[in-house]
Amino acid sequence: MNVLILTPSLTQHDAVSNEVVLQHKLLSAKGLGVSLYAEKVKSFSHGALCTRGKAVALLQDPACLVIYHHSTGWQEGEILLAQVQGKLVIRYHGITPAEFFPHEPATQREIQQGNEQTRRLAEHHRLQLVICNSHFIQQEWPSGGMGKYPVEVLAPFHSLEAFPSLAFQKIEDEIHVLFVGRFTPHKGQSNLLRLMIRYRERYGSLFHLHLVGKGSGKKTFLYALYQEIFANSLSAHVHIHYDVEAKILASLYQRSHFFISFSEHEGFGLPLLEAQYHGLAVLALYRGAVKEALGAAALGGETLDLDRFCAAIRILSTHQKMREEVVQAGHKNFEIYKMKRLQEKFLALLGVNDDNARQ
Amino acid sequence: MSFTSIEEEIEKEAKKEVTVPPSVSEDPCTCSYYLHYLFLCWRPILVTFCKRCKS
C-alpha cells in the first residue's frame, strides 16, 4: 500500500512539518511506501520528498492513500486534490482567524482562501475521513460534511519524549516564567509584559520572562514589543530567545517555574503540553483549545484578570507543595498525549494494521 | 483532580490590596539589549551606551 502525504510547506521548527515527518516515520515503519510532497521546502531535507510528477502519479493510483494537511490556503494543493483516485484523509489543523493579523494583508488573503478551501474540501467526493487537532477545531469543520464521513479528533504528534535530556536545576530564589509562541499580537506577549508591570506594582519585584519564538513578515510586532520593554524598564528581566534550537528550548523548559499563555487562539497548543512534560506549573487564559489541552490540570481563567494571574504566581512560588500539586496534575495530563497512544489511534483511524500494511 | 483549595488561595491573594513602591524601578544596563534589538529588528535607532559599556 502506498501513501502520499501532501502539505503546503515543510520548514524547521514548525508543528505541521514536524507531524508530517513523524507520520512518515510511523507509516514507513509499518512497511508502507510513503512519499511526501510540499510546494515550498525551506531549510528542510527529507529522503521521502518527491517531485510533483511522482505526486500526481500517486494521486492517480486508486490504491494510494492520500493524507492532506490543511492549515492554510493552498491553491496548488487543491489542484492536486482534484486528481485523487484513492482514499482521501484530511488532517485539519485549523486556521487562525484573519482578525488576528490586522496588519498583514497577505496573511489575511491566505486565511480567507484557506477558509473557502475548507468548505470545498468538506465536499470532496473522495473524502473518507477528517482528523482534527482538537474538539475546538472539530467544531470549525463545516457541518454539511458531518455524517458523510467520520470527523475525528487526534492531538498533534510531537517529539517531546525525544527532547534533549539536560540536567539543569531550577534557581529557587528567582521566578522564571516562560512562553513559547510566534511573535504575533494574538499570542499575547504584550499582555505578559502588562502582567509583569502589575506584578511589580503589587509586590515590588519582578519575575524573569522568557519569550521564545519566531516572527513573521517584517518583525513589526517584535519592534513594538522591544519599545514596550524599554519604556517600562523591563529589559533586565525580559529575555527574548529568537528562533532557538531544541537544546536551548529544552534548557529553558527545565530552568523555568511557570509557563503562562495569554494566547488569544490555539488550535491545540503543543507548548502547553511541552511545559507539563517538563514539570512547569501552567497558567493560561482559556482561549481556543487551551483548556481542552490542559485537561484536569487547567489553572487559569476565561478573562484576563491580571491580579488573579499575579496572585497565582505569588501563591505557587511561595507554596512549593501547591506548585508540586499543579506540576503532578500536568504530568498526569501528559500521559493522555504520549506518542504511543497517539500513534495507535492514528493507525486505527486509517485502518492500518500489520495485515494490510504489507499488501 | 481538583484545584479547589489552590484556586481559593489564589482568589484570596488576588483580592488583597497590595501596592508597594517598586524596588526594581530602573534596569542596571540595557546596552547589550539595544544591540540585540538592533540585530533582530534591523531598525536604526539612537544607541547611547552607559559609562561601563562605553569604556
The tens digit of pLDDT for each residue in A112-166 reads 999 999 999 999 999 999 999 999 999 999 976 667 899 999 999 998 877 766 6
Rounded Cα distance, A13 and A338, in Å: 20
- In a domain, residue B52? The reply is yes
User: In the predicted model, is pLDDT for residue A344 greater than 50?
Assistant: yes
User: In the predicted model, is pLDDT for residue B14 greater than 80?
Assistant: yes
The answer to whether B42 contacts chain A (CB < 8 Å) is: yes
Q: Lowest mean pLDDT of A47-56, A185-194, A300-309, name the range.
A: A47-56
Top-confidence range, A21-30, B12-21, B26-35: A21-30
DSSP string for A205-245: ---EEEEEE-B-TT-HHHHHHHHHHHHTT-TTTEEEEES--
Task: Report residue A23: phi and psi, to 5°.
Answer: -65, -40
The answer to whether A228 contacts chain B (CB < 8 Å) is: no
The answer to whether A319 contacts chain B (CB < 8 Å) is: yes
Q: Under an 8 A CB cutoff, do A230 and B30 touch?
A: yes
Q: Lowest mean pLDDT of A36-45, A112-121, A272-281, A339-348, name the range.
A: A36-45
Q: How far apart are the first and last CA of chain A?
A: 6
ipTM for this model: 0.81
Q: By residue range, what is the domain housing residue B49? A: 28-55
- In a domain, residue B55? The reply is yes
Domain regions of chain A by residue span: 2-158+338-354, 161-336
Q: What is the mean pLDDT of residues A175-201?
A: 95
In Å, the largest CA–CA distance within chain B is 57
Across the interface, of A226, A322, A329, the residue whose CB is closest to B1 is A329
**Which of A198, A209, A307, A336 would best serve as a mutation to test chain B binding (most B beta carbons within 10 A)?**
A307
| Confidence (pLDDT) at A281 | 96
| Confidence (pLDDT) at B1 | 40
| Confidence (pLDDT) at A224 | 86
The answer to whether B8 contacts chain A (CB < 8 Å) is: no
Q: What is the mean pLDDT of residues A180-207?
A: 94
What percent of chain A shows pLDDT beyond 70? 95
Rounded Cα distance, A224 and A185, in Å: 10
Top-confidence range, A101-105, A222-226, A265-269: A265-269
Q: Are A177 and A260 in contact (CB under 8 A)?
A: yes
Q: Under an 8 A CB cutoff, do A329 and B3 touch?
A: yes
Shortest CA distance from A305: residue in chain B: B14
Structural domain tally of chain B?
1
User: In the predicted model, is pLDDT for residue B25 greater than 50?
Assistant: no
Q: Under an 8 A CB cutoff, do A236 and B29 touch?
A: yes
Return the CATH fold of A2-158+338-354. Answer: Rossmann fold (3.40.50)
The answer to whether B16 contacts chain A (CB < 8 Å) is: yes
- In a domain, residue B35? The reply is yes
- pLDDT tens, residue by residue, A206-240: 999 999 998 766 677 888 898 888 888 888 899 99
| Confidence (pLDDT) at A88 | 97
CATH (residue range A161-336) = 3.40.50.2000
Task: Give burial (CB, 10 Å; 0-12/13-18/19+) of A76.
Answer: middle
Average pLDDT score, chain A:
91
Residues of A in contact with B38 (CB under 8 A): none
The answer to whether B29 contacts chain A (CB < 8 Å) is: yes
The answer to whether B17 contacts chain A (CB < 8 Å) is: no
* The three three-digit cell numbers of residue A104, written as one number: 498583514
Cβ neighbours, 10 Å, residue A26: 18
- In a domain, residue B50? The reply is yes
User: In the predicted model, is pLDDT for residue A301 greater than 70?
Assistant: yes
Across the interface, of A236, A240, A305, the residue whose CB is closest to B28 is A236
Across the interface, of B10, B19, B29, the residue whose CB is closest to A202 is B19
| Confidence (pLDDT) at A65 | 96
Task: Report residue B48: phi and psi, to 5°.
Answer: -115, 115
User: In the predicted model, is pLDDT for residue B22 greater than 60?
Assistant: no
